[in-house]
């Protein structure tokens, strides 16, 4: 059951090692091994039983909260993405207008890609307003 132990060790890599976390890890490994043996008794192959036990176990976010591990704070990048989309779409639009005026001044074709490019800041605006 080396695969189970490796999986649990990977899940617990962010949690500081102490007596309590080692006891919790050992209990989880024992429970997963019992689950694997149960699945094998009911006709599953060993590899399938191990994979099913791991998938059913899920993640340990609630366990991390109980053990007092601080979660990294996610920065709200919506405003930065909105600003980037305005600047980026502005530069792309300016490029298309220049190409249109310089090479084919009698045919106004740049409006089509400009219309498509304007969806970028519009979508970023809605993401920003939802997170605001």
Q: What is the pLDDT of residue 71?
A: 64
Task: Output 25 or 73, whichever has higher pLDDT.
Answer: 25
Averaged pLDDT for residues 83-103: 97
**Above 80 in pLDDT, residue 49?**
yes
Helix (H), strand (E), coil (C) string for the chain: CHHHHHHHHHHCCCCCCCHHHHHHHHHHHHHHHHHHHHHHHCCCCHHHHHHHHHHHHCCCHHHHHHHCCCCCCCCCCHHHHHHHHHHHHHHHHHHHHHHHHHHCCCCCCCHHHHHHHCHHHHHHHHHHHHHC
């Amino acid at each position: 059951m080396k695969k189970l132990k490796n999986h649990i060790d990977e899940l617990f890599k962010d949690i500081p090692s102490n007596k309590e976390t080692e006891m919790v890890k050992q209990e989880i490994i024992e429970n997963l091994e019992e689950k694997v043996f149960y699945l094998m008794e009911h006709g599953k192959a060993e590899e399938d039983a191990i994979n099913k036990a791991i998938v059913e176990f899920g993640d340990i976010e609630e366990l991390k909260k109980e053990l007092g591990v601080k979660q990294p704070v996610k920065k709200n990048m919506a405003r930065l993405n909105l600003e980037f989309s305005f600047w980026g779409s502005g530069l792309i639009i300016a490029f298309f207008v220049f190409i249109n005026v310089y090479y084919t001044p009698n045919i106004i074709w740049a409006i089509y890609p400009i219309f498509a490019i304007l969806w970028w800041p519009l979508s970023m605006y809605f993401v920003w307003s939802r997170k605001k």
